[in-house]
Amino acid sequence: MSVSIFDSFLTTSDMIAVFDDAAIVQAMFRFEEALAQAQADEGMMEQSAARAIAGVCNAQLYDIPAIISAGRRAGSLAIPLVKELTKTVALYDAEAAGKVHWGGTSQDVIDTAMVLATRDALQLLDDGLHDLTGHLLELAERHLATPVLARTLMQPAQVTSFGFKLTGWLAPLVRARLRLREGASRALQLQLGGAVGTLAVMGEQGPAVAGRVAAALKLKVADAAWHTQRDEWVRLGLEVAVLSGSLGKLATDLSLMAQGEIAELAEPSGNGRGGSSAMPHKRNPVSAMIALAAATRTPQHAAALLASMGQQHERGLGNWQAELAEWPGLFLSAHGALQALNDAFAGLRIDSARMLRNIDALQGLVFAEAASAYLAAAIGKQAAHTLLEKMTGEALASDRHLADVLEEAVRRDDTLRAHVDTAHLRSLFDPVAATAPAHRLAQQQLQSLRGDIASLNQK
């Protein structure tokens, strides 16, 4: 598989190698080798024939660009591949050449090759999730009591715990890792059905051959050929798409918190990372950028998979081919995003002092709800709400802290003075104390997530 310079910029060399042309062709040869050996073991050909076939199932022996070009004319990459394999086997054993690809069909070869490549791709994603969830878990536990602004509709809302925010980033990634493994256990299965999915050429020996091929390739034996029944396969692809979406959510928050005016987080810098060709002061969040690019591109890949499911009868015309072309893009984007965010979180700078300054700069307004709830016990909910609306306006107009304005209001009002403990009222404006509800919830969730991560890491 060749990728453009811009695709390469957004992914990793490891994932490119998984879906590289030579890797897919070699996976197709692995299928042909396993098929021949299984048929020999079932007595359907001589062991010497299977050895002759296996001896030339090496992608390095073939002109891969020529096979790809011929595949375009033939309508399937497998057709010229099998033709070239047959010709090469015939150079050493003419009788064995007649047994190449016996009982299989083009889609068997290609789908199984894609399953083998996808298994490697999923391992890369799992490794990346292992690292990123580890970073997030450690940071979340460290920052359970670190106050930070929670923002709703892009505006300051209340004080929360940065550990709570990190836990919110962590949880969907742990779920993604679990769902990908579950999806893989169902979707990574052998494709072997022959011309119309019935294994007709191999007769009663077909199921036994399928079992042997699956065992050789360490794949699940499918209940039946899934040539045009793509539900489990597409579900797996959609789980990769959801992962990219979750990474995009994390990257969005990271990029917003790294804005110069906010400056609560910063990606690692140095060695030209995040620089600008024109502005020396810039520190661009390049990891967030790559993850956001992945999240932006992924919906189109996912939609194409869903659109390709209406495949005709026993072999799809155009839609299966579209699915094959879209499939690698999901993994290229997801792994690029994962690697980029792992780079960011391995050296993320967290400015907790700036988080406090951003809270303080809002003159206590983000504590208005807590103050209103406390004052409601003295003057009723509606009256307290009305009072806080008035006092927040006064605080803004006079450029004063809301706590000071409220204390003055309490001193001026006999009812409030009789029922309000000003020391307690002042305590409601303590940013660290305000993290307590988020701290408790995050701590509970982290306990469960820690167990899930430990279980995933053992498998």
Closest by CA to 163, choosing from 420, 403, 447, 363, is: 447
Is residue 335 within 8 Å of residue 126, measured between CB atoms? no
Is residue 391 within 8 Å of residue 402, measured between CB atoms? yes
The answer to whether 276 is a known catalytic residue is yes
| Residues near 431 by beta carbon (within 8 Å), at least 6 away in sequence | 147, 159, 356, 359, 360
How far, in Å, CA of 228 to CA of 13, rounded?
32
CA distances from 350 to 241, 344, 408 (A): 29, 11, 37
Q: Which two tokens stand for residue 368?
A: 């208005």
Is residue 257 within 8 Å of residue 264, measured between CB atoms? yes
> Bridge partners of 161?
147
The answer to whether 297 is a known catalytic residue is no
199-205: long-range contacts, CB 8 A cutoff, minimum separation 24: 199/103, 199/225, 201/102, 201/103, 202/39, 202/44, 202/102, 202/103, 205/39, 205/42, 205/44
Choose, from 297, 315, 349, 400, the residue flagged as catalytic: 315
Q: What are phi and psi of 176, to 5 degrees?
A: -60, -45
Helices within 413-435 (DSSP H only):
414-419, 422-427, 431-434
Choose, from 48, 185, 276, 455, the residue flagged as catalytic: 276
| Residues with catalytic function | 276, 315
